Structure 1
Amino acid sequence: MSPRPFYQAALRGLHSLLNGFSQIFLQTHAGCGLLVLLAIAIGAPHLLAGALLGALGSTLTARWRGYPGADIAMGLYGYNGILLGLLLSLTIDWSALLALLIITSAALSSLLLAPWMRRMREHRWLPAFTFPFVALGWLLLWLTAPLHLPAQSEAVNAQASLSWLTSLEATVRGLGQVIFLDHPLAGLCLFIGLWLADRHAACWALLGSAGGLALALYQSWPTQGASAGLYGYNAALAAIALGQVHRRPWLPLLGIVLALLLQPGFSALGLPALTMPFILSCWLISASRRLLQQAADDCTPLPRRDKGLHPQDKTP
């Protein structure tokens, strides 16, 4: 028996896995996915196993459930699982229970995403984006205390005042914070990956992250969070998503502003923001455009028709 089919299947599986990593940044590009993997290996190698486990758990579940092969190949059933694997690996010490939690939550993310995508295509639902990751992430973080899961200690780094060099580092760190990375070289890898996949998206991402840093400095938010890029990653994702769909630049700019304004509200609610500000900003803009379009269509006068009248009854 020829080994070629096995190699071809392995190559397709690898391609799908890398696309899953690139879909975190809304791209379908294996090279971008490879650079996302490299960024994790550089910035936080201890998170790499969790990311791979999450990718396998969500993708294999999609294959087991018989979801469309094209969606699986594009990595659409990989990115939520990857983000869950990263989040749980960052929060909880490694154990057999952690591995089980990653696999289970990644599988659940695919089960949640599939009906949402079907309704999006059939009934014009808004895109799910990373909502399965956010919903399951909030639930799992809430369960860490009742389950008595050992939490990882967080390192606190004192940050000096921002110079032009540290501001540049903070901007690329904003890209890294999408996947919980706080290393400028990791952020640079992500920018290069985006540039390979879509230069337009790379520029919007950098602008969104810079906007988050600028607002943090203007509002005198904590310098430590600003220099770590914590205020830029949602704005970067919103800019990428809206810049892909809308060619008018004011819509991605509006998405950046909305994401920045929404993010502090989650701290007030006692919830980790994760990527929910990005999701809400895109939903608000898309829903508003649909309502405006519907209102415009309703106000458009229909052509006059003499339906139901006999020809002799018409006024000459």
Structure 2
Amino acid sequence: MNWSLTIDKALPRPLRIILRGVGQVFFCCNAVTGLIFLVALFIGSVTAGAAATVGVISSTVAAYLLGFSEDDIDAGLYGFNGTLVGPCLFLFLEHSPQLWLYVVLASILSSIVLAALMRILHPYNVPASTSPFVLTCWMFLVAVYAFDSFTRGPILPPPGIPTVVTGVGAIPAEVWFTALTKGIGEVMFADSVVVGILFLTGIAIVSWRGALMALSGAFVGVIVPMLFGANQNLIEMGLYAFNPVLTMMALGWVFLKPSGKSAVLAILAGILTVVCQAGLASFLTPIGLPTLTFPFVLVMWMFLFAAGKSKYWSGPAAK
């Protein structure tokens, strides 16, 4: 929307870059949207909001000091992985003063990993997206075994053998709204209906198609696992939806030319993201790591590589 772009451009450059970095979590290069996302995070949890703020500032400043592309920094591309790193580490690890330093270091590394992956993937016109966040957080979560100052939190899956799913069944109609909105909120680890609504509002400010893809991804993340007999509690918490949300936004709005054909491809990719998430969850269970957004990254990469061989889908990778 024009009014949001006017506000975006009127903000001081450092603030604009930081807020754009937050907005880029949902592919939105807009400071107004980023502000809405950040406010939503603080509403959901002050700690999560503070951790996201520390993360986005650390990753962005690191990119600037390391001399990475000014255009990419201005677009907030070196901020969104750091935005995710902060809440992630505070969700899965016990809180301590040292954890703030841990977030800063992980956010700095996410920018370095992003620059490296951008260099590797550039010839193929495929974005790194949230893969730096995933790789960095996996390393930092595993590293806590070697440090006495850090302890795994109760939410982090304990290492073990995958077990047979329980709590299977169709979710009640009155729970659908909660599942859908939480599915959008869980992209930034927010278990909140209000946060999910605010996230969707922020996306809609930038693009109605983007918001439609996000909402459609949430529907896919509820319907498909329910049909396949996934754990009902996980569906209700939106934990099967946040990856399809990102996948469908990426393919149906951002990285392929927006059209009916790309929307169909996005739906197929969203469905397969659910299966990919279930498979990766079982694969990672023995080492006690969460899937994070890797199902989205993996499916998006495969579809974008494949789209380059198809006469039906084309469009440059933008982020």
Q: TM-score, normalised by structure 1?
A: 0.84
Q: Does 1:175 align with 2:175?
A: no
1:292 Cα deviation from its structure 2 partner? 4.1
Alpha-carbon separation, structure 2, partners of 1:161 and 1:118: 45
Deviation at 1:9, TM superposition (A): 11
Cα distance between partner residues in 2 of 1:124 and 1:12: 31
Is the CA contact 1:19–1:75 (under 8 Å) kept in the aligned structure 2?
Answer: yes
The match for 1:234 among 232, 243, 247 is 243
Per-residue Cα deviation, 1:194-226 (whole angstroms, up to 9, x for no partner): 110111010111111111111122122221111
After superposition, give the CA deviation of every residue in 1:211-244 in whole Å (9 maximum; x if it has no partner): 1111122122221111100001100100000012
1:288 maps onto 2:306 in alignment: yes
Query: Unmatched 5+ residue regions in structure 1?
Result: 1-7, 294-316
Taking the TM superposition and a 5 Å limit, the aligned residue runs for 1:38-57 are: 38-57=39-58
C-alpha displacement of 1:86:
1.0
Q: Does 1:263 align with 2:284?
A: no
Q: 5 Å matches for 1:63-82?
A: 63-82=64-83
Structure 1 residues 9, 173: CA separation in 2 closer, same or farther (over 3 Å shift)? closer
Q: Which residue of 1 aligns with 2:147?
A: 147
Give the alignment partner of residue 202 of structure 1, picking from 186, 208, 211.
211
2:297 is matched with 279
CA distance in 1, matches of 2:185, 2:57: 22
SS at structure 2 position matched to 1:144: helix
Residue segments in structure 2 that go unaligned for 5+ positions in a row: 1-8, 157-166, 312-319
Classify the secondary structure of the residue corresponding to 1:178.
helix
The question of whether the paired residues in 2 share the 8 Å contact of 1:130 and 1:279 is answered with yes
Would the alpha carbon gap of residues 65 and 48 (structure 1) be closer, same or farther in structure 2, given more than 3 Å must change? Answer: same
AA at the equivalent of 1:150: T
Q: Which residue of 1 aligns with 2:5?
A: none
CA contact (8 A) 1:31 1:197 kept: no
Shift of 1:138: 1.0
8 Å Cα contact 2:170-2:226 kept in structure 1: no
Letter in 2 for 1:194: I
Partner of 1:93: 94
Instruction: Tell me, yes or no, if the aligned pair for 1:119 and 1:125 is still in contact at 8 Å.
Output: no
**Equivalence for 2:126:** 126
- Matched with 2:25 is 24
- 2: distance between equivalents of 1:265 and 1:178? 19
CA RMSD of aligned residues (A): 2.3
Deviates more, 1:123-132 or 1:75-84: 123-132
Secondary structure of residue in 1 paired with 2:309: helix
Residue type of the partner of 1:221?
A: A
Identity %: 30
Distance 1:71 1:143, change over 3 A: same
2:266 maps to amino acid: P
Mean Cα deviation higher: 194-203 or 95-104: 95-104
Alignment partner of 1:28: what SS? coil
Mapping of residues 240-255 of structure 1, within 5 Å: 240-244=249-253, 245-246=256-257, 247=259, 248=261, 249-255=263-269
Assess if the C-alpha contact under 8 Å between 1:81 and 1:109 holds in 2: yes
Is contact 2:225-2:274 (8 Å) kept? no
Amino acid at match of 2:144: T
- Residues 2-21 of structure 1, C-alpha deviations (whole Å, 9 max, x = no match): xxxxxx99811111111111
Q: CA deviation at 1:290?
A: 2.0
TM-score normalised by the chain length of structure 2: 0.83
